Chain A
């Protein structure tokens, strides 16, 4: 019995808690990709950099607040800076849309041209970020580190395995739940949200029924900015902020959006968790688990080393492309 509980605590500590946190972060990122895909119909390669830009503004504001002595007590100051960071990112995206993407909308360009333009935007943001904050690692989590420490858990339950929950992990989960509820309420209940879904489903029909495309596009960018900033900040709070990692996270995010079905918000969330849990589960060393089940084994019993975590997102992506190119929730595959 104790062995089973120990195994559960072990899996909870190394698989479930990190998986949920990472899944939330990927889901928020993938939602941004999927929204832009649904409305503007292209894969936005600048999304990782958008996340990094949002996080950067949050960090700069956090530093400013810290220097004048504002803080949220046990919570990270970054949460207070978040709304301002979102506002800055909204501004950036709207300016980008006005000067880059709007032209191609008027030209009715193919999605590939948008994609290449988004690569240009990615370069631009990337340079901007490195120019302002530099390429180095930044820690900006100033709240309490843990909700529950591994030692406290051990004392509380008397188990040999500890279960630690970092406060950044708790914050990630709560913020994600609130944000997703708000997003779905917006998409399903409000007039603006319904016009967005209509536009995403059938552009021509939506235009005929008098939906203003510029407005829809603007709302899509605003939502994307909010999602990207929050996703980036949560990721930065949980790990650390380094511009390069936001370029690398593009792959799992895209994989999540495609696995769920491009253009489908529910799919993006599901895809985020599928990718996150497979990544964590495949790179986890199961040696101790076997130990508790009564098998002593040599080696780590790890399917893949953590260096290959990208291979996991990629493998799932390939399987989905082979088996069901429209994704789990039937997005667009054309």
Chain B
């Protein structure tokens, strides 16, 4: 208990140090992403720490949450909706009906006939849906494509997008879980790796939904804008009293608002996770994790419990993903990289202490902090190490330029060292 408290204290001291040595807006920017990372880390911890499920597609669920950021908060593009909204809906309906028929046939027929019938229905459904879908999409993307060219969203407040992001991710997780749970553990890993790549491909290419690589900018915010604050008398007053420039002050104020909102979400998720872990349900999950065969012999439905916990964890990832889009104020599909959004989160959980929620949160803070700070530290280190070389030395230039890649190596090294020498993490699971 004391150990965990101390570590969090050190963490906040480090953040304060960044504030003093670099700048306060930077310190709060890091803090905000630390909070989001902590929520992602909690999501993975629910899957891995509670149940031992390996999700290598964190990126996909986070991105699906991000999609909710657009679909919920952006104002609707009425012209586009009247041009192609109906067509898209109809196409989705055709697809749904096709899948319904396939499921029905799967249960009614058997043998070779089933395979042939299902293939034919699927092909027919695909062509029918495409026939409606393609012209509708073309019509949508033609509407002022430089500015919009997509359907827009529902125009609801940003906070609504967060739980919806969780729902999106949960739906995807249910499908993946249905297919790959109950088989050996690596299969879930590979299936999730696949779905995350497909989600990103979809977000990059379905311009009617996400504008694709043209990005969606200017998502509505749940907090005030810096420009408005800069003319607010109370802020000008404060900045004069503390001797901080107004611009910096407004930036810190906005980031503090975000930090407040994110802290509330983090605390809600954390307290729910803690209660779940301590409940009989949590004990059952750990029992399944530690000995599946024994748990199954006791009459626990292992596959159903795994599906449940997988969906819950993914929902948390989706919530964090939506929050991230809100914080960024934009949705850029190309920014989703597996190393950043999948494997980094894994490092957070392992380093923090898998199975312990507080550990996962701490891991999120620590790893994000070093992920951001590794670059200046690495650059400084390289500069010192190569200071013996001539100013224009090609080797020195190459090393300085490549210092940015140091952090990948650092993360790999941290993961391997923790896994080997402290496999229970910074704050170990209570046994």
Contacts and interface: CB of A to CB of B under 8 A. Distances in A.
Interface of A: 42-43, 45, 100, 103, 111-113, 115-117, 119-128, 130-132, 134-135, 247-248, 250-251, 254-255, 258, 262, 299, 303, 305, 307-308, 310-311, 313-314, 317-318, 321-322, 325, 332-334
B50 to A, nearest CB: 14
Given A247-B338, A311-B198, A313-B194, A112 B52 contact: yes
Contacts of B89: none
B412 A112 contact: no
Interface size class of B (residues with CB under 8 A): 35 or more
A122 B412 contact: yes
B81 interface: no
B416 A124 contact: yes
A308 B409 contact: no
Nearest to A129: B405
Contacts of A119: 56, 343, 346, 415
Given A100-B416, A124-B413, A322-B179, A115 B189 contact: yes
B416 A112 contact: no
B109 to A, nearest CB: 15
B406 A131 contact: yes
B362 interface: no
Contacts of B56: 45, 119
Contacts of A334: 184
B195 interface: yes
Given A100-B416, A254-B193, A317-B194, A123 B186 contact: no
B205 interface: yes
Contact of A121 (B183, B189, B204, B416): B416
Q: For chain B, what secondary structure do more than half of its interface residues adopt (helix, strand, loop), or is it mixed? A: helix
Q: For chain A, what secondary structure do more than half of its interface residues adopt (helix, strand, loop), or is it mixed? A: helix
Which residue, A124, A134, A135, A332, has most C-beta atoms of chain B within 10 A? A124
B409 A124 contact: yes
B278 interface: no
A123 B198 contact: no
A117 B413 CA distance: 10
B418 to A, nearest CB: 9
B33 interface: no
B197 A248 contact: yes
A313 B416 CA distance: 30
A113 B419 CA distance: 8
Contacts of A311: 198, 201
Contacts of A317: 190-191, 194
B285 to A, nearest CB: 16
19 contacts: A116-B350, A119-B56, A120-B415, A120-B419, A121-B412, A123-B409, A123-B411, A124-B408, A127-B406, A130-B408, A251-B190, A258-B190, A308-B201, A310-B198, A310-B201, A317-B194, A321-B191, A325-B187, A334-B184
